Amino acid sequence: MRTRTTLSWQAALVMLLRTFGLFGAARRLEGGPPRAIALDHADERSFVLRVVQPGLAGLMDGSVSTLAPIFTAAFLTNKPFTAFLVGMATATGAGISMAFAEGLSDNGELTGRGNPVLRGSVTGVMTFFGGALHTLPFLLPSLHTALFAAYIVVAVELVLIAAIRHRFFGTNWGLSILQVVGGGALVFIAALLFGHA
């Protein structure tokens, strides 16, 4: 009984490690014979195509595209909860839209990018996550405190995006930060323009 429970936990942990792209750690935990480096590379490439790339696209879209409506609502109304509602509605709409866009744009057979339902789901969830994360500070009653907290959350999101790009796509840290922050800055400028019109 104890052995079976141990095995099920081990199998679950192996699956979790593989989900997060930690193939070497999963293989060591399995205790099987070492596999060729080419197979490790194929595993990682498949993981990047099926999970990381769609997730990153969603995270970038959610983190950047929702900035303008959220901050515009905050600047126009001076009511944090109104900005929160706008933010959650925007994050939800963007998540649904991106899920369908990713899932319907490629059935995976021609490009080898895998199951469209999985890719669409990953993209949709990460888009919602990216948009909702910097919306949560607007639950605070003070607009100034909410804005300050949201600025910090946005900065963390942008660094996370840069880190994922660096880890899985080999993008230079400085260039990645510049690109991601540049995109976020352009959207934030739009929020300032519309929010103070």
pLDDT, tens digit (0-9, with 9 covering 90-100), for 124-155: 999 999 999 999 999 999 999 999 999 999 98
Cα separation of 62 and 124, whole Å?
A: 9
| DSSP class of 50 | I
| Contact criterion met (CB below 8 Å) for 173 and 162 | yes
Cα separation of 116 and 122, whole Å?
A: 10
Q: Where are the domains of the chain?
A: 1-34, 48-195
pLDDT, tens digit (0-9, with 9 covering 90-100), for 48-68: 888 888 889 999 999 888 988
Nearest to 178 by CA among 196, 192, 153, 161: 161
Most confident segment among 67-71, 106-110, 114-118: 67-71
Q: Is the pLDDT of residue 38 over 90?
A: no
First to last CA, the chain: 68
Least confident of 48-57, 82-91, 105-114, 167-176: 105-114
pTM: 0.75
